[in-house]
Amino acid sequence: MRSVALAFVLVLASVGASAHQAPLIPATPPALIPSPRSAVFAESGGFVVTSRTPIVVPGGADEAVRVGEVLSALIGPGVGVGHPDSLDVQPLVETGPPRDGAIVLALTDRADVQAPEAYALTVEPAGVRIEAGTAAGLFYGVQTLRQLLPPEVEYSAARIGPLDVPAVVILDAPRYPWRGAMLDVARHFFGVAAIEQYLDHMALYKLNRLHLHLSDDQGWRVEIPGWPRLTTVGAQNEVGGGPGGYLSTADYEHLVRYAADRFITVVPEIDMPGHIHAALVAHPDLSCDGEPREPYTGIRVGFSALCVEQEATYAFLDDVIGALAARTPGAWFHIGGDEVQTLSHEQYATFVQRAEALVAAHGKRLVGWDEIAGVPLQPGATLQLWRPFWDDLTHPDSARRARAHAHADAVVGAVEGGAHLILSPADRIYLDMKVDSTTALGLAWAGYNGVRDAYDWGETPWLDALPDGAIIGIEAPLWTETIATVADLEAMAFPRLVGVAERGWSSRETLDWDDYRVRLARQAPRWHILGLNYTRVPEVWNAD
């Protein structure tokens, strides 16, 4: 693992006090990630943001004003608060008509920004205008404007003076509706502050789903009313024997709101019927033998299962799914379903169908790991493809080839039955796989996932042959068997998660590794200011 050069931050900080000084890192050439659908930059004639630049939200719709306040909070500290020329205020959010000299955020019925999350952004000397059909589109326009501003805008308490924005016309919309990151808070517990930080970094790159892996053999991580032992007993361990922990109901509700403020939907996962040992430690009667169990702090998988043939199991799941569904405004509930090694196929299939019915009864849509492809499901289920198989469809080894074809056939069968797919191939975008042989953290059972590997994949004949619309998105899981701190989380996620964000958002024609890696290298000054502990790989940072 290579570490970040902290000296750089000090150099930047030292320019802070002087007003009107040209930014140390000019905003041009721009380095936008994800790359927008179209961007036409002018040679000159940009806009200058000062402490007196108003943010105007014509019509004043609440959700659009809230996006204006996000922008005000971003640029306020840099150009306003404490600045010698300033009124010591953040730029004001007004709700009157558009005017010159302003940053205008407008909800509009303009036809070319009506796709979900689409926006248009124009920067010219007279002002900045972001237009969208939805507040989400305005938010993504603001994130693009943020990347057009010099990285110093990220300081929360520095006086950096007016900020230059290059002149540009951008029209943008995402490729996929589901652009996700998964955080395993079960193997090692990560609490509110760590998850907030992850959400903040996701928002900068237009990711819009946070999948929380809330339970596993090593720990149960969310309070369920009526089942106190899940947390007083089941949450008190983690891999390696640390103290564990859990999200209280208030914590979970707070995170759902914090994510929603960033247009990110939380997708809760309770992994079942396997990966459930921690719940069985708390409630041995949920197992078929009823025997007391010791907490498990290792990293084996596949050994635990709920007793799928007793009704008490489904009463338990009804409470758990119901409690989380009631606190989750998003449409989805993830039932896990992976790596069950102690049940017959019939037992597994019956269980998954009953879990599916409970999810539906609580008003949510089912998501599960790709093992559930082997079970007949209601139309509209979502499968998360994690097990590498499409490279093996042409493997010289016939047994491997046969396994891959069986896997592919099950997935295609599910798609024909109305299922959607999220791509999370372990051999490309599992962020817990080591980057290379020098990576101290992480595992390597799916190989090394280099920064290029995590970006440059996905256009394969098998995926291309799927019906239009079958793939709804991409999600990068970060399992935490070897990850115990926020610094470790960030070192594994960054920069690879950024490549996943671009693959999820940018249209296929704009994906290009050589172009991307230059834009990626240019994110580093912003990350230094944000304090993000990214892994500085030579294939990117020796190239700039």
Tell me the closest approach of the beta carbon of residue 430 to ligand ACM, in angstroms: 7
Cβ atoms 288, 294 nearer than 8 A: no
**Residue closer to ligand ACM (CB basis): 210 or 524:** 210
Q: Please report whether residue 316 would count as binding ligand ACM according to CB under 6 A.
A: no
Q: Which of residues 432-451 bind ligand ACM (CB under 6 A)?
A: none
**Residue closer to ligand ACM (CB basis): 172 or 338:** 338
Q: Please report whether residue 252 would count as binding ligand ACM according to CB under 6 A.
A: no
**Residue closer to ligand ACM (CB basis): 45 or 302:** 302
Q: Using CB under 6 A, which of 217, 338, 432, 488 touches ligand ACM? A: 338
**Residue closer to ligand ACM (CB basis): 154 or 370:** 370
Backbone angles phi, psi at 40, to 5 degrees: -120, 110
**Residue closer to ligand ACM (CB basis): 272 or 529:** 272
Cβ atoms 411, 404 nearer than 8 A: no
The alpha-helical segments, DSSP class H, found in 6-49 are: 7-14
Tell me the closest approach of the beta carbon of residue 369 to ligand ACM, in angstroms: 4
The C-alpha atoms of residue 26 and residue 163 are separated, in whole angstroms, by 10
Q: Please report whether residue 348 would count as binding ligand ACM according to CB under 6 A.
A: no
Cβ atoms 144, 33 nearer than 8 A: no
Tokens linked to 359: 């999810």
Q: Please report whether residue 369 would count as binding ligand ACM according to CB under 6 A.
A: yes
Give residue number: closest CB to ligand ACM. Answer: 338
Tell me the one-letter amino acid at 250.
A
Q: Please report whether residue 319 would count as binding ligand ACM according to CB under 6 A.
A: no
| Integer-rounded Cα radius of gyration of the chain | 24
Tokens linked to 45: 């004639």
| Among 63, 124, 339, 539, the one annotated catalytic | 339
The C-alpha atoms of residue 82 and residue 230 are separated, in whole angstroms, by 49
**Residue closer to ligand ACM (CB basis): 217 or 338:** 338
Tell me the closest approach of the beta carbon of residue 477 to ligand ACM, in angstroms: 7
The C-alpha atoms of residue 112 and residue 324 are separated, in whole angstroms, by 37
Q: Please report whether residue 339 would count as binding ligand ACM according to CB under 6 A.
A: yes
Give the total of residues touching ligand ACM (CB under 6 A). 4
Q: Which of residues 56-115 bind ligand ACM (CB under 6 A)?
A: none
**Residue closer to ligand ACM (CB basis): 49 or 186:** 186
Q: Please report whether residue 386 would count as binding ligand ACM according to CB under 6 A.
A: yes
Tell me the one-letter amino acid at 460.
T
**Residue 83 neighbours by CB under 8 Å, 6+ apart:** 19, 51, 159, 161
Is residue 131 flagged as an active site residue?
no
Cβ atoms 496, 448 nearer than 8 A: no
Tell me the closest approach of the beta carbon of residue 446 to ligand ACM, in angstroms: 9
Tokens linked to 172: 């943008």
Tell me the closest approach of the beta carbon of residue 339 to ligand ACM, in angstroms: 5
Tell me the closest approach of the beta carbon of residue 172 to ligand ACM, in angstroms: 32
Distance of CA 206 to the CA centre of its chain: 8
**Residue closer to ligand ACM (CB basis): 211 or 517:** 211
Q: Please report whether residue 296 would count as binding ligand ACM according to CB under 6 A.
A: no
Give 256-293 as a DSSP string.
HHHHHHTT-EEEEEEEESSS-HHHHHH-GGGSSS----
Tell me the closest approach of the beta carbon of residue 386 to ligand ACM, in angstroms: 4
Specify which residues 171 forms β-bridges with: 38, 120
Helices 496-505 and 513-521, interaxial angle, to 10°? 130
Tokens linked to 427: 């051999």
User: How many CB atoms neighbour CB 489 within 10 A?
Assistant: 26
Tell me the closest approach of the beta carbon of residue 269 to ligand ACM, in angstroms: 10
Say which residue the tokens 């105007």 belong to: 56
Q: Please report whether residue 388 would count as binding ligand ACM according to CB under 6 A.
A: no
> Judging by beta carbons within 10 Å of its beta carbon (0-12, 13-18, 19+), is residue 81 exposed, middle or buried?
middle
Q: Which of residues 164-183 bind ligand ACM (CB under 6 A)?
A: none
Interface ranges with ligand ACM (CB under 6 A)? 338-339, 369, 386
Positions marked catalytic: 339
